[in-house]
Chains A and B, each alone.
Chain A
C-alpha cells in the first residue's frame, strides 16, 4: 500500500543538527513531491518546505531559509529533511507528506518523528 515511513525519535542539544528520513513505498516516488510539516507540542501545523522527487527542486518556508535542507535519494525512494542550529522552539513532531492524488493536498503522511531539543 502507499505509505511513508519515517525515522525514529531524536534528542538533540541546542546548536546541533538533525536529519529525518522518510521512505516512500507503494507509488512511483519520482512522480510527486514531498513536503515537510512540523507540529510543536499542543500546537498547530506548520509547513516547512517542499522538494520535488523528480528533479530535486526545493521551496522552503521563509522563516527556515538557511537552516533547513531537503534532499531525496531516488535509488531508495527516501526523502530527507535536515535542520541545523537547533533551538528549543524547534522541538516538535516532524511529518513528511505527499500529494499523490489529483490535487496538491497532502493525501499521504508519515507517522511523524519527534525531535526534542534540550540541553
Chain B
C-alpha cells in the first residue's frame, strides 16, 4: 500500500499571505502511460465532508478559486494558497488514487 505523509501538521498564516503544504507518497503515483500524477487535494471544514480542490496533482476542480494551486510529480507534491482568505481555514488532505486509495494525515491551516 502507498503511504502518504504531509508537512507541516499545522500552520498559521496571516491573511493575504501564502500558505504551502507538502505531501509525499511512499512510491511514485505517476502513471507513465499517460504521464498523469494520480494525486488529489481536498479541503475539509468542521462538520462538513471533504471538498475536492485539485486532481491530477495540478488541475483545479470547477469552481475552486485560482488562489489554490497544486504542483509536483512522482512522489513529492505541494498545495499552495497564494493569498490566504478567512474562509480557507480548514484541514487539507492529499490523496493518491494510483492504487488502493489512501489519504495523508492532514494539515490544519489557521489565521495568524
Contact = CB atoms under 8 A, between A and B. Distances in A.
Contacts, number: 60
B51 interface: yes
Nearest to A101: B55
A52 to B, nearest CB: 15
B45 to A, nearest CB: 12
Interface of A is mostly: loop
Size category of the binding interface on chain B: 20 to 34
Interface residues of A, number: 23
A44 B52 contact: no
Interface of A: 35, 37, 44-47, 50, 59, 61-62, 95, 97, 101-107, 109-112
Interface of B: 1, 38, 40, 42, 44, 49-52, 55-56, 59, 61, 93, 95, 97, 100-106
Given A107-B52, A107-B55, 5 more contacts: A44-B103, A45-B50, A46-B103, A59-B100, A106-B40
